[in-house]
Structure 1
């Protein structure tokens, strides 16, 4: 919701403090179904105050970059949702000699869990931790081999949501062809292991949601022309569960995007995906998501920028053959957003945006039919 501008007079070339404030109105904050009784409040207003610091420092041939910010979010009606947010990220880009390079880093994020899959008015903070390390050996000017490991951990404040506490470990190894233009084409083998810490119970049956996902994918980052840039991470994936193997699935999996800038000041981005994703529900734990999005950015003047985006996604939820679920196994969501930003100086920015969301839910997964509209206003300054 908040964006930080570039400073005209920086405190230093390494440390960049910033502050920001934002205001949001949402006419269906909890993403309640269309037929909910009118006695329950649907709309609310939220104010967010944010302060932080950006660090960007070269250390010899290495480079350290980090961001740390804290926020205070308060609501006019649902005051029990008020919370303090935290967002800390750090990355060290390392280089050894002329052939070995990589990154090591991590992050910590504490924020309010979205209401799209769980519509309680009780506060439910989500804490996410991430650690990663990767490296590449460029053994030839046009070829490299690489590997990496990433661990993501998610924990939820609300007792009913702790069935979604999980750890996801991703290990990968691959090789790439490096073109002189800066493009890259490669093949990567990946394994993702998910471990859920608190088994959920459906009709008195305890479910083990642990899984292993094996992938073989093409990895492409290609400058097709001066105005077209293509990114692909797609191929084949097979997901296997330790319990209720009837949920196992395999097939095409991945994401592709195209960035196109035919007019200089106007840029477009299109993206499509078909991939597994976690669901923050107490009924199901994951879904196969298929969707696409289109966005545009228009630099109206040197100080004014307009943005627009449209997104559509279908989620196909897992079905448990030994438990009697009924209803549609899919839900479909569409969203659109328009925004306008004005930078009166190089170190400040004011923005306004409006959004609209609509979803056709699934009884099987306990998701609602809902509509939501909203607007946000924000301002920021970086020193």
Structure 2
């Protein structure tokens, strides 16, 4: 191994150790509480559940390489398939104090090994500490912190890159029931996303979300309301100059009408409809305004079968030269059969259409080929859960995805199968 490779390895190791420290501290603290009776929770409603888990996943096209891409040129391997093995250790805890206050900790550390792309092996974690607070009979909310280290999706990258990212979130909310039929709530969330790789750092972001909800509550429990979300976004690693084609900061306004109601005894419907307006600090030519909507239906067909239906159109900003935003619209259907209290089977199906829209104000020739990167995605899957014992659960999954696009580099087929087992203590 070369000296530069060794130094790079040591640098990555120090970064991982530094980020891992906070996650491990939460896990150790929770384990210490479990093992030390002096600090054990005394309320009969308190729960502390350490657990271990193991999983194996086969993925026929882990990097989502296009149909016309030779994997040997990208990865040095003659195959696109991958097998990932994961072991996880964690704890879930819920303490109740001062009657109605709840403090929750969910934390785990996981190690992931790749059979072919061994350079992608990583240690990850997912931790959250949250206080669900209540004050009197009319005020309630939460206050929390999340920290996750994981590998990002390759569905849009379609190639081999270092894709590790760390996400930290700080959030809080409060709701006031000012009338038996009226509730107002406010919330704030800050999300910091940092990629490890230099090639991905342009996507590092800081997002501040402010939310206000006003709801009318019917005696039946059905609701109708107004929602407003203000989001300020920054990309610290993007230096804006006079020749830049993407911005490094924006403000987004999201206005929506929300509703949730029991349509029939066994059917519940909820959703929202509204508009989103995004304005950039420097490149106003990239500003856009468009509509968003979502409707979900939960149908308890029988005691053992249920159906979930979701139809939605959502958008996200685009950073290329031929579109200002990306629209994702489609339908998801998920029938579930709970054969016994210990065994359940689901068959999720989905179809999505992704379009790149909006005039960037750049070269007209580029805009003529705007739909070249549009694509459709069809998915069929099966998930199984089995709990032979109270503290032991087994899960399995099968998935098939087919993506079609004029751009063959974005067209692919992927098949995957996984099995996992978890034991609680």
Distance 1:274 1:353 in 2: 27
Q: Specify the SS of the correspondent of 2:340.
A: coil
More strand as a share of residues: 1
Q: Specify the SS of the correspondent of 1:338.
A: strand
1:19 aligns with 2:57: no
Q: Flag the structure with more relative contact order, 1 or 2, with Cα contacts below 8 A and sequence separation at least 6.
A: 1
Instruction: Kindly provide the CA deviation profile for residues 220-266 of structure 1, in whole angstroms up to 9, marking residues without a partner as x.
Output: 23233331122213212222223433332223213221111111211
Instruction: Kindly provide the CA deviation profile for residues 97-116 of structure 1, in whole angstroms up to 9, marking residues without a partner as x.
Output: 12211111121111111111
What's the offset of the Cα at 1:287?
Answer: 1.9
Instruction: Kindly provide the CA deviation profile for residues 69-103 of structure 1, in whole angstroms up to 9, marking residues without a partner as x.
Output: 11101011100000111101122111111221111
Instruction: Kindly provide the CA deviation profile for residues 13-40 of structure 1, in whole angstroms up to 9, marking residues without a partner as x.
Output: 4211111100011111110011112534
Change (3 A) 1:64 1:221: farther
| TM-score, structure 1 normalization | 0.89
1:32 aligns with 2:71: no
Which stretch has the larger CA shift, 58-67 or 23-32?
58-67
Change (3 A) 1:382 1:283: farther
Which stretch has the larger CA shift, 151-160 or 15-24?
151-160
1:293 aligns with 2:339: no
**Of the candidates 82, 87, 103, which is equivalent to residue 44 of structure 1?**
82
More helix as a share of residues: 2
Runs of 5+ consecutive residues of structure 2 not aligned to the other structure: 1-33, 36-40
Q: CA contact under 8 A between 2:152 and 2:163: conserved in structure 1?
A: yes
Q: CA contact under 8 A between 2:134 and 2:141: conserved in structure 1?
A: yes
Change (3 A) 1:228 1:329: same
Runs of 5+ consecutive residues of structure 1 not aligned to the other structure: 1-9
**Of the candidates 224, 229, 244, which is equivalent to residue 190 of structure 1?**
229
Distance 2:130 2:161 in 1: 34
Q: CA contact under 8 A between 1:131 and 1:152: conserved in structure 2?
A: yes
1:253 aligns with 2:292: yes
Instruction: Kindly provide the CA deviation profile for residues 167-196 of structure 1, in whole angstroms up to 9, marking residues without a partner as x.
Output: 121112231112333332211222122212
Instruction: Kindly provide the CA deviation profile for residues 123-174 of structure 1, in whole angstroms up to 9, marking residues without a partner as x.
Output: 3211111111111111111112221111122111122211111112111223
Q: Specify the SS of the correspondent of 1:205.
A: coil
Q: Specify the SS of the correspondent of 1:50.
A: strand
Q: How many residues align?
A: 372
1:207 aligns with 2:246: yes
What's the offset of the Cα at 1:282?
Answer: 11
What residue is the counterpart of 1:271 in the other structure? 310
Instruction: Kindly provide the CA deviation profile for residues 30-57 of structure 1, in whole angstroms up to 9, marking residues without a partner as x.
Output: 1001111253430110101011000111
What's the offset of the Cα at 1:201?
Answer: 9.1
| TM-score, structure 2 normalization | 0.81
**Of the candidates 299, 315, 322, which is equivalent to residue 362 of structure 2?**
322
Instruction: Kindly provide the CA deviation profile for residues 319-373 of structure 1, in whole angstroms up to 9, marking residues without a partner as x.
Output: 532256345252222222112222211211222211011112465xx96111100
Change (3 A) 1:267 1:126: same
Q: CA contact under 8 A between 2:236 and 2:248: conserved in structure 1?
A: no
Change (3 A) 1:209 1:284: farther
Distance 1:254 1:153 in 2: 27
Change (3 A) 1:85 1:283: farther
